[in-house]
A and B are shown apart, each in its own frame.
Chain A
Amino acid sequence: MKKVYADLTPLLSKPRTAKALADPSGFGSSSTLASGTSVSARTDDSALRTSKAWEVAIGPGKSLPMQMFMAWMSGTSVSIFSILITGMILMSPVRAILGVNQTFAPLLRAKGARVDVSMQKLVFVAINVAGVLFGIYRLSIMGLLPTTSSDWLAFIPPKQYLEYSS
């Protein structure tokens, strides 16, 4: 098979003349490229991480409606399916809260200044807490929370009568 080679270096090293053909985007002069990249890379990276962190933080919030829909679909009766769904709704935010540092750790691994993601973490935890609360709400509407007098009925001791009758 015949191989074709094209040397594109002359294009890059072509002296800049007025009204010369504009570089296609991404093909600016090397100096501009070099200097521009080094400055904006540092600033963009931190913003990127921050925005990425925000994305991570509000991520669970996006899945909440889905979970609510699934919960609604599974109903409030006590069945294996609804209990599994409720368990998932409850456990995944709890697991997420416990693993909050690991979740944000990749975003902190920058060479330069540290990105402050505490706000994001806070929002992340808050949203997951909302998830937990929703799970607890689910438990309560399913009647699985010991919140009423009937839940403690079995622990009421029988009355002892002081008298004895025939």
Chain B
Amino acid sequence: MKLTGGSLALAVLALGSSLGGVHALFPDEAGRIDWYRAQIGVAKKMQAHTHNDTAYIYSITQRNAVAALRADDGQIAWRQVLSEPVGTLLARDDRVLTLSSSSSDAHVHVWDAGSGALAWGFSQAAGGGARTATFVRDSDDVIAVLGDELVRVAPGSNTPAWSLALNGTAAYKRIVVHGKSVFAIGNVASTRQAKQQLHVVEVDTASGAVKTQYSTAEGVSLGGGSLVVLESREYGAYLVWRESDNIVWHIHRLGMTSPMWEIYHAKMVEVALMPPDMLTSTIAELDTDPGLNDATPRFTLTYTRDGTQKTVVVEMYRTGDKLEMRKIASFTNSAAVAAGAQRTVAAVRTSADGVAWRVRGGAKHSGDVVYESSTYGGVTHAALVFVGSAPRIVVQTRGGLLAALAGDSREPVWTRDESLAHAADMALLALPPPASSAEHAAKETDPSVQPSAAIRFVLRWVATAQALVESVTSGFGIGSGGHGGEHAAAPTEGDHFGFRRLAVFGSTTGVVAAVGSQDGAHAWAHYLKTRVERVFITRGSQALSSAAPIVVAVGRTRNATVVTALDALTGKVVSRDTLPFAYTRVFELPASDPVSGQRLLGFAVAEPTPRLAVWPATVEAVRALGAANVPLYFELGDGAGSTAVQGFRAEIGDDVAEPWLAAQPAWTFDLPAGETLISTSRYEDGAFHTALQGRVLGDRSVLYKYINPHVGALATQRSAGGIGVYLIDRVSGRLLHAAEHAGAVVSAGHPFLATLSENRVIYQFWQPGAPAGYVTAVVELFESDQPDTRDERTEVSSLDLRLPSVVATAFVAPEAATALGTTRTGSSITTRDVLFALASGKLLALPDAMLDPRRPMHAPTKDEQAEGLVAYSAPLPLDPRRVLSHSHAVAGIAHVRSAPTHLESTSLVAAFGLDVFFTRTSPSGTFDQLSPSFSKANLVITSLALVAGCLLGAPMVRRKLTNRAWA
């Protein structure tokens, strides 16, 4: 950029083209440079159900999804992602019933079982949320407990057919529809001895009139493990419970108060059961769709004897008037039991290296599947479905793997990694470019010598030349196309362009999983048992190096921090440390561990005294940090709800005895009265880097950027309404800029989002009123408001820095966003795209020139045109050509990350949350790549023709020169 006129013109051209018609991607790139995986999350409840001869697994998940998976291949047949937690799930005939509740409303949703379309829905204000619901038999109506009301709702109706106010002190979590009665069963506090008991209200199904109500089952509660509700179409509905400290079961027929209950002894179904075992036994409901059984409802009895857990499946039936029970199957050490059609049951047992499954009740089936529970944890849920006559058991593991087991195969029929739907953090491991055989040979000749970059370069060219010769001699193998870096390589090797990385996800389900950034192929997974909050690459990978790259997962237990280091290429645990503190924030430190060569991690710890704990927790690591001689600052009180943010300076003493540094208060930033913190935003790793330290104006003067890696953006909720946004320096604690948005509303449905890059802070919030919209504010910081004025020091301290000059403006975002991000490239020369993850599932990339706060309100003057500014217009366009996710609806994006590649033009973009989407984008076009239509064959042929021309022409020229010399 020596000649600014030229560069200006280029910038104008680039800007013009970027504002014009740069396509996010070409049609032929869709699915080739990107990959997308729809996820549903870890199941809370699964129900197998066959609809139109297709076996589905219906599931509601911890990520608020309602989904139907095809049992034969595990693909999502349909999925609905709700904004609030989903409770009840019931699939019957061609309908799927779910309940969900927000803080104030309860919703009944009835979905079409085949297509997932909403057949009908009903919403009602309900303080206690939706509790339970069921279908009315032989009708499309639904009876539900919404808040403290029992309602019957008909399809398409806005008002319930009838509603009944229930006792507000009881939590009615279960309803049973039998014959012409509906029973609402709730937990109430007994008047005697302050014990729990059940309250039953019998209501006429048609009119909603109360037939009778009574209390029963003292000392037990719904969901307590000692009570089940059994429904039999033929014989009625029953409660079976065991009182605490009692060895017998009480059986109560709902609606019958005299006698209130009969007594039954479990030894009659399980002879081996001894009274002490009975006292610790639990019973649980088994049928996923109670009420469909003609005669024989089932439940499980689980007890432990001599350290062996035994689960007995009990079936209730009648002979004449006599109520009987019998054992139909029993399993040992089962992790999950599932009911299937035709009285079948399946149980799944997890061992250290496999999963065993058994199907009983009808024809017997069994199988063993190789499965390392260290990868995704043990099984928690199971569902049994029949594909044809063959049983198929779908299991959900604690870590998030969903797998189908069937037949004689030792491998699962299909698997889904749903831990990615719970990813809290992701780190991209750069893989070294593929080493050529020549390099390997050089390494083998002398393993101690690490070839220098120059030698490797030469060796690589030698190898390339050899490959070229080989391909020419073996018929012409030089294809056209510029994407040479996309051949399949070993998982430990990357490509020359840096596109191929290993994305290591850490999820709240406790799984660390690595997938290929180019294709989503699974590399490894490891179950850590503790929820993972952050993932760091503490040691990168090097070509031909024997030192494995290391990824560190930081997890949290109640009052301890678990730091697990894993080999980033294999997932093997290298070390696992439990640190005796709860951290508020973890970050990389500017030093490496002298022993392992890993980057040090710092933990900001508030209790008992503010300190900076260092990992690896060794004195040597702290000494290495001291040797780096960099003043370290961190904050506490930067979480939501805080009213003051406090900055600390870590003190590195001369004699280091503990693996932590004491911290001295450096500053306190008190929020104005009546304001509480919503969130704090910082630069993501290296996002403040810039190639140009200033902005060139139209008159070729420069406004110098205020580049300060210590800038933090605080968003606060004002008690008087609205939000405040404060930019502070996190080393000096000084306020750099303050803004208030009086009408703004920040809530769970309308989050405050921010992204920082270079000298720019972009944040978005919801502004109700007229006109309402999502406001995207852009704040750009400059060293001075006067051009050509700058702080000329190259080494600066935040403590004696001038305050920045601020240029800010606001735009209206096209849609609600769930996450913001900015693209990053290697040298930050390429213009940046601001990435909006929209709630509608689009990943939108807008050029940063569009979000320029210097855009003039009038038609741009000549100077402004030369600067590349276009006239301000508030709405940011939702241009389909800028949607990186093209046809995919990437649901629930919570994080948008970007990483540079070896090509300056191109950056990797990852969006994850519920779904996962990886792509790469070139905000200024692929100026440093050959176009796909470039023909290498033509180039080679042309070069050869020129060489041939030279060889043929040389004798003629020589003769001519000789003749001229004689003349």
A positions within 8 Å CB-CB of B: 77-78, 142-144, 146, 148-151, 153-154, 156-166
Contacting pair A151 B3 (CB below 8 A): yes
Cβ–Cβ < 8 Å partners of B798 in chain A = 161-163, 165
B590 in contact with A164 (CB, 8 Å): yes
Partner of A165, one of B633, B697, B700: B633
Please encode chain B, from 681 to 699, with 1 for each CB lying within 8 Å of some chain A CB and 0 for all others: 0100000011111101100
Which of A159, A162, A165 counts the most B-chain CB atoms under 10 A from its CB? A165
Q: For A78, what are the chain B residues with a Cβ–Cβ distance below 8 Å?
A: 5-6, 9
Interface string of B578-596 (1 = CB under 8 A from A): 0000000101011000000
* Residues of chain B from 631 to 649 with CB closer than 8 A to chain A in the complex: 631-635
Given A146-B2, A150-B696, are A161 and B709 also a contact pair (CB < 8 Å)? yes
The stretch of B21-29, B787-795, B952-960 in contact with A is B787-795
Chain B nearest CB: distance from A136 CB in Å? 14
CB distance from A160 to the nearest CB of B (A): 5
Given A78-B5, A78-B9: A165 and B689 interface contact (C-beta under 8 Å) = no
Cβ B4 vs Cβ A148 within 8 A? yes
Given A151-B4, A161-B708, A166-B682, list of 6 further CB < 8 A pairs?
A156-B694, A163-B630, A163-B633, A163-B797, A165-B730, A166-B602
CB pair A149–B702 under 8 Å, yes or no, is yes
> Contact at B634–A166, with CB atoms within 8 Å?
yes
**B-chain residues with CB within 8 Å of residue A163 when the two chains form the complex:** 630-633, 710, 731, 797-799
Interface flag for B883 (CB, 8 Å): no
Residues of A contacting B796 in the complex (Cβ-Cβ under 8 angstroms): 159-162
- Nearest Cβ in chain A — how far from B113, in angstroms? 51
* Chain A residue at minimal CB-CB distance from B612: A166
Q: What are 12 pairs between A and B in contact, CB < 8 Å?
A: A78-B5, A144-B5, A151-B2, A151-B4, A159-B795, A162-B631, A162-B798, A165-B632, A165-B731, A166-B633, A166-B635, A166-B730
Find chain B residues with CB under 8 A from A160 CB: 794-796
Question: Which residues of B586-613 are within 8 A (CB) of A?
Answer: 587, 589-590, 602, 604
Given contacts A161-B710, A163-B798, contact A154 B692 (CB under 8 A): yes
CB A152 to nearest CB in B, in angstroms, measures 9
Bound-state CA distance A153–B708 (Å) is 18
Chain A, residue nearest B693 (CB): A156
Judged by a CB distance under 8 angstroms, whether B1 is at the interface is: yes
Is the Cβ of A150 less than 8 Å from the Cβ of B794? Answer: no
Q: How far is the CB of B625 from chain A (nearest CB, A)?
A: 10
B240 within 8 A of A: no
Taking CB atoms, residues of chain B closer than 8 Å to A164 are 589-590, 630-633
Inter-chain contact B701/A149, CB cutoff 8 Å:
yes
Q: Is there contact, CB below 8 Å, between A150 and B795?
A: no
A143 x B630 contact (CB < 8 A): no
- Shortest beta-carbon contacts, A-B, top 3: A143-B5, A166-B634, A154-B1
Contact with A along B384-427 (1 / 0, CB 8 A): 00000000000000000000000000000000000000000000
A150-B632 contact given A161-B796, A165-B710, CB 8 Å threshold: no
**Residues of B with C-beta under 8 A to A148:** 4, 700-702
Tell me, rounded to whole Å, the shortest Cβ–Cβ distance linking A75 to chain B: 13
Interface centre among B5, B633, B634, B689 (most CB of A within 10 A): B5
Chain B neighbourhood of A144, CB < 8 A: 3, 5-6
Give A37 to B173 CA distance when docked, in angstroms: 136
Given contacts A161-B798, A163-B731, contact A150 B604 (CB under 8 A): no
Q: Does B8 contact A (CB under 8 A)?
A: yes
B891 interface residue per 8 A CB criterion: no
Residue of A77, A154, A166 ringed by the most chain B CB atoms within 10 A: A166
A56 to B707, CA, bound (A): 59
Task: State in angstroms the CA–CA spacing of A162 and B6 once bound together.
Answer: 36
Known: A153-B692, A154-B692. A161 touches B700 (CB 8 A): no
B631–A158 CB distance below 8 A? no
| Alpha-carbon separation in the docked complex, A158 to B249 (Å) | 77
Those of B2-35 within 8 Å (CB) of chain A: 2-6, 8-9
Q: Report the bound CA distance from A158 to B791 in whole Å.
A: 11
Distance, CA A159 to CA B709, complexed state (A): 10
A166-B589 Cα distance, complex, nearest whole Å: 8
Q: Which residues of A contact B1 (CB under 8 A)?
A: 151, 153-154
Considering only residues 766-802 of chain B, those with a C-beta below 8 Å from chain A are: 787-788, 791, 793-799
Knowing A150-B700, A165-B731, say if A158 contacts B693 (CB, 8 Å).
yes
Residues in A whose Cβ lies below 8 Å from that of B707 = 158-159
Given contacts A160-B796, A162-B795, contact A146 B4 (CB under 8 A): yes
Instruction: Looking at the assembled complex, report how far the CB atom of B98 sits from the nearest CB atom of chain A, in whole angstroms.
Output: 42
Cβ contact of A150, chosen from B589, B690, B702, B791, cutoff 8 A:
B702
Q: CA–CA, A144 to B3, complex, Å?
A: 6
Of A146, A150, A161, A162, most buried by chain B (CB within 10 Å of CB) is: A150
Complex Cα gap A161–B689 (Å)? 12
CB distance from B631 to the nearest CB of A (A): 5
Decide if A151 touches B700 in the complex (CB within 8 Å).
yes
Taking CB atoms, residues of chain A closer than 8 Å to B635 are: 166
B631 partner residues in chain A, CB cutoff 8 A: 162-164
Could you tell me the distance in whole angstroms from the C-beta of A141 to the nearest C-beta in chain B?
Answer: 9
Residues of A within 8 A of B630 (CB): 162-164
- A1–chain B nearest beta-carbon distance, Å: 43
Closest to B787 in A: A149
B621 nearest CB across to chain A (Å)? 16
Q: What residues of chain A lie closer than 8 Å to B602, measured between beta carbons? A: 166
Which A-chain residue is minimally distant from B791 (CB atoms)? A159
Q: In the assembly, what is the distance between CA of A160 and CA of B682, in Å? A: 18
Report B689 CB to chain A, min CB distance, Å: 7
C-alpha gap A144/B707 in the complex (Å): 28
Quick check: B4 and A143 within 8 Å, CB to CB?
yes
Within 8 A of A (CB), among B317-375: none
In the docked arrangement, what's the CA distance between A150 and B695, Å? 8
Q: How far is the CA of A133 from the CA of B301 in the complex (A)?
A: 101
Q: Is the CB of B693 within 8 A of A143?
A: no
**Interchain CB contact under 8 A, B604 and A166:** yes
B5 nearest CB neighbor, chain A only: A143
Chain B residue contacts of A77, Cβ below 8 A: 9
A144 to B7, alpha carbons, bound, how many Å? Answer: 10
Tell me whether A150 and B709 are in contact in the complex, defined as CB-CB below 8 angstroms, given that A143-B5, A165-B731 are known contacts.
no
Q: In the assembled complex, which residues on chain B have CB atoms less than 8 Å from the CB atom of A143? A: 3-6, 8, 700
Given contact pairs A142-B5, A157-B794, A160-B794, A165 touches B692 in the complex (Cβ within 8 A): no
Asked whether, in the complex, the Cβ of A150 is within 8 Å of the Cβ of B693, the reply is: no
CB neighbours of B8 from chain A (8 A): 143, 150
In the complex, which residue of chain A has the Cβ closest to the Cβ of B587? A166
Most A CB contacts (10 A, CB to CB) among B3, B585, B694 go to B3
- Name the residue on B nearest A151 (C-beta): B4
CB distance from B512 to the nearest CB of A (A): 23
Contact A166:B700 (CB < 8 A) given known A78-B5, A78-B9, A161-B708: no
Taking CB as reference atom, which chain A residue is nearest B647? A165
**What string of 1s and 0s marks CB contacts (under 8 Å) between B702-721 and chain A?**
10000111100000000000
Segment 648-695 of B: residues with Cβ below 8 Å from A: 682, 689-694
